[in-house]
Amino acid sequence: MTLRRRLVLSIVALVVAVSAVIGAGSIIALASIQTEAIDSQLSKATSRASTKFGEGQQNPNGQRPNDDALQPLGQAAGTLTAYYVTGGGAGGIVLNEDSSRAQLTSSQLNRLGQVRVGVDPATMDLGGTLGKYRVAAVQVDNPVLGNAVLVVGLPMTSVYDSVRSLLLVVIIVVAAALVAASVVAAVVVRRSLRPLERVAETASTVARMPLERSDALQDVRVPDTDPRTEVGRVGSAFNRMLGHIAGAMQARERSEQKVRQFVADASHELRTPLASVRGYAELTRRMGGDLPEDVVYAMSRIESESMRMTSMVEDLLLLARLDEGREIQFDDVDLTGLVLDAVNDAHAASPEHPIEVDVPSSPVVVVGDAARLHQVIVNLVTNARTHTPDGTRITVGIAPAASGSGVDLTVRDTGQGIDPEFLPKLFERFARADSSRSRTAGSTGLGLAIVDAVVQAHGGSVDVTSEPGNTVFTVHLPTEQGPSDASAAWSSTPTVASVAPATSATSAASASATD
């Protein structure tokens, strides 16, 4: 349960418990007080009855006391009096509301006969119309009957009626207190927890934020920072924590900026000497007809490595500029034409791989940088060619996005798949899985990093799914076409083109790795 609900239930339970204890105490106290009052009245009634009974008045029709002897003047309605003679014989009457007298039954006399002289008054259920009575017994010497036990009782009806009335009142009061406590507790707890809710909402906001830039935290602060309250201290500590995080992120951004600037400057400065090294190596190789064979080979290797290093320097410079938000020029781009050009170039560079294209018959236009998007397609196709064996089938396709907005560019190969442990870092810079992938050419580990950076600069995303025999890179690119226009653009039948090598080759297991 939430803290609010627990607090409300705790307050309500406390109010109910206190009300129940007070109600139970009141009922017990009322019953005790009224019982003591009945005992006091019983003592007086017993005194009057024993005095009158001791005078020895008899009933003219028999050897028993007359009704006046058992019920003297001053007795309250409902008072019962019974006598038990030592030698045998018993009798008793009850004074009715109309001052008439009713005889006790034999079963009632038997129950009253169990009362002992000299003990405190006791409550006894006489059954019938009498119910429960408070009774007491005394020893009386009657001049006619001799030694006898006189039992006097008063009804407990008034006590039970008062207890029942009070119980009803207590139930009503507890119910009203329950409702009132629920409402008041809900309002009070809600108002008391508002500062804590604001702190929690701020924490949730920070948790949802992609903390890539320190300025994202500048406007996120907890307003409740009163050090006199617990929540205020938590809010103040949270604000200090946000300040520390923002400071750490700023320091990290400054460090990353320095690294990016260094890479950009170094890459820019390295291009000129690398071009010179490559030029002199090529010049020496071409003009050195009298040079030894090993020197000519060494010059060719210097030229080859300088070309590879130049390519890596260009990639690093491109990534640095993309990090700074440069190198992207947005315009309408025919994505279909870019795919066909890239596939033709790839087939010319690697005729051993059969490459198919699956694109609509009409041009698919997106907003972006044509050169950079062409580089994305080339890198993905080259990645598939480089890290798959000869004969592996590669398919490049364009389809409407599954989300209904934008287009999906896919590059699929039928290789052995990518190691699942390597997938999370596939698009990191310099990430390579050479230990588990076949290699036929050098790799800088920057190709897929460039793909990811360019696609993100276009506001898109790139994903990969891989299993043996089916590795798919999916590039999602946004488009400005509305839903109706996009549907019309894809209504035509797709065109499937196949660019196959001169010699036949069977599909082999492969997987795409980083370029």
Q: How do residues 218-227 score in pLDDT, each as one tens digit?
A: 556 777 777 7
What average pLDDT does the chain have? 79
Residue 483 has pLDDT above 60, yes or no: no
Q: Are residues 238 and 262 in the same domain?
A: yes
Question: 102 with 148, same domain?
Answer: yes
Q: What pLDDT digit, counting tens, does each position of 177-216 carry?
A: 888 888 888 888 888 888 888 888 878 877 777 766 666 6
Rounded to an integer, what distance in angstroms lies between the CA atom of residue 306 and that of residue 67? 139
**What's the CATH number where 279 sits?**
1.10.287.130
Q: Indicate whether 342 and 313 sit together in one domain.
A: no
Q: Answer yes or no: do 128 and 30 share one domain.
A: yes
Identify the domain boundary among 287, 307, 323: 323
Q: Is the pLDDT of residue 319 over 90?
A: no
Assess whether 278 and 368 both reside in one domain.
Answer: no
Residue 134 phi/psi, 5° resolution? Answer: -95, 115
* Structural domain contains residue 238: yes
| Residues 225-234: contacts with CB under 8 Å, at least 24 apart | 229/195, 231/195, 231/196, 231/199, 232/195, 234/196, 234/199
Domain shared by 310 and 342, yes or no: no
**153 lies in the same domain as 270:** no
What percent of the chain has a predicted confidence (pLDDT) above 70?
Answer: 83
| In a shared domain, residues 377 and 418 | yes
| Torsion sign (Cα): 348, 350, 353, 358 | negative
Dist. CA 242–CA 251, nearest whole Å: 14
Q: Is the pLDDT confidence value at 404 over 80?
A: no
Residues 402, 468: contact at Cβ < 8 Å? no
Whether residues 381 and 283 share a domain: the answer is: no
The pTM (predicted TM-score) of the whole model is: 0.47
Q: SS3 sequence, 148-174?
A: EEEEEEEECHHHHHHHHHHHHHHHHHH
Residues 298 and 352 in one domain: no
pLDDT attached to residue 231: 76
pLDDT at 451 over 50: yes
The alpha carbon torsion through 337, 341, 347, 348 (nearest 10 deg) reads: 160
Indicate which CATH number applies to the domain containing 111: 3.30.450
Q: Is 515 domain-assigned?
A: no
Question: Taken in order 273, 303, 431, 471, is the CA torsion positive or negative?
Answer: positive
Angle between helices 370-386 and 447-457 (to 10 degrees): 150
The top-scoring range by mean pLDDT among 47-56, 463-472, 475-484 is 463-472
Same domain, 335 and 356: yes
CA angle 489, 495, 501 (to 5 degrees): 145
Instruction: Among 107, 142, 161, give the residue marking a domain's end.
Output: 161
Instruction: Give phi and psi for 263, each to the nearest 5.
Output: -65, -45
Nearest to 351 by CA among 183, 505, 161, 167: 505
Task: Note down the domain range covering 357.
Answer: 331-499
Chain segment 43-96, per-residue pLDDT in tens: 999 998 888 887 765 555 555 677 777 778 788 898 999 988 877 778 888 988
Phi and psi for 80 in degrees, rounded to 5?
Answer: -115, 150
What is the domain-level CATH number for residue 462? Answer: 3.30.565.10
* Listed residue (359, 352, 313, 299) closest to 335, CA to CA: 359
Same domain? For 150 and 278 the reply is no
Where does a domain end: 161, 190, 219?
Answer: 161
- 168 in a structural domain: no
